[in-house]
Amino acid sequence: MIRIAMWSGPRNLSTAMMRSFGARRDTTCIDEPFYAAFLDKTCTDHPLREETLAAHERDPDVVASDLAFGTRDADVFYQKHMTHHMVPGVPKEWMGHVVNVFLIRHPARVLASYAKKRTAVTLDDIGFTQQTELFAYVTEALRQKAVVIDSDDILRAPKEALSLLCSEIGIPYADDMLSWKKGPRPEDGAWAPHWYDGVWQSTGFGEPPGPLPDVQGTLGDLCAKALPHYKKLKAQAIPVDCD
């Protein structure tokens, strides 16, 4: 079984990517498995916090063991991860047993989307610094290959981008990845009613991205701080011909 850990921050096409892989006949998915541990350790006040803590495993060591060694009745085990969930006390060694992929998105797009769901946002909330730290951990500490793909490239050319991604991961591409049924899925986390309304209404990837949003004020300051992290990983991203 191939285990794929897909690392991103929030509002980064991450749930649509989980839908895409979940549409494959050979794949099973898990949704943000460290979310409950993150909430438990940080006491962060997120929407549907109590529902998440009640419904999901809080012990990060139990979660990590399952991600690295747990069995599934599938050839591909797709793991949707949020980089900001990897706080002190959440183990990382298990990452050596999976294929690590980094899903990136320009911070202006992330912030414009995130601000619609939560009024307060910090740099830690959007996961850019944590993403570059985890990339360094995989490539330097673990000395493994890390795959990077830009969500804008996926939206511009879904078939081409996903074909290249599958090739990098070592699994066959399937056209099933381009579409899915509307509505919730069994793998959706307890937080889904707050965050997933757009994905629940979708049947595939959205329109190609337009111009970058004009984020100003506090959001503009955060964008400026996040941008170097995005650019660092962008330089490593799979080149996708979107013409």
Q: Nearest CA to 12 among 241, 230, 239, 190? A: 230
Give CA 208 to chain center in angstroms.
Answer: 19
| Whole-number pLDDT of residue 116 | 79
What pLDDT digit, counting tens, does each position of 120-141 carry?
A: 788 998 999 999 999 999 999 9
CB 29 within 8 A of CB 21: yes
Q: Does the pLDDT at position 143 exceed 90?
A: yes
Query: Cα torsion at 131, 48, 51, 13 (round to 10°)?
Result: -40
Strand order in the sheet with 2-8: 27-31, 76-82, 2-8, 99-104, 147-150
Q: Does the pLDDT at position 25 exceed 80?
A: yes
Q: Nearest CA to 168 among 79, 101, 74? A: 101
SS (H, E, C) 12-77: CCHHHHHHHHHCCCCEEEEECCCHHHHHHHHCCCCCCHHHHHHHCCCCHHHHHHHHHHCCCCCCEE
pTM recorded for the entire structure: 0.95
What pLDDT digit, counting tens, does each position of 33-49 carry?
A: 999 999 999 988 888 99
Q: Nearest CA to 35 among 237, 194, 166, 206? A: 194
47-79: string of b/e by CB count within 10 Å (b at 16+)?
Answer: ebbeebeeebebebeebbebbbeeeeeeebbbb
| Whole-number pLDDT of residue 64 | 98
Q: d(Cα 38, Cα 32) in Å, to the nearest integer? A: 10
Q: 3-7, 52-56, 110-114, 119-123: lowest mean pLDDT where?
A: 119-123
50's CB contacts (< 8 A; 6+ apart) are none
| Whole-number pLDDT of residue 121 | 85
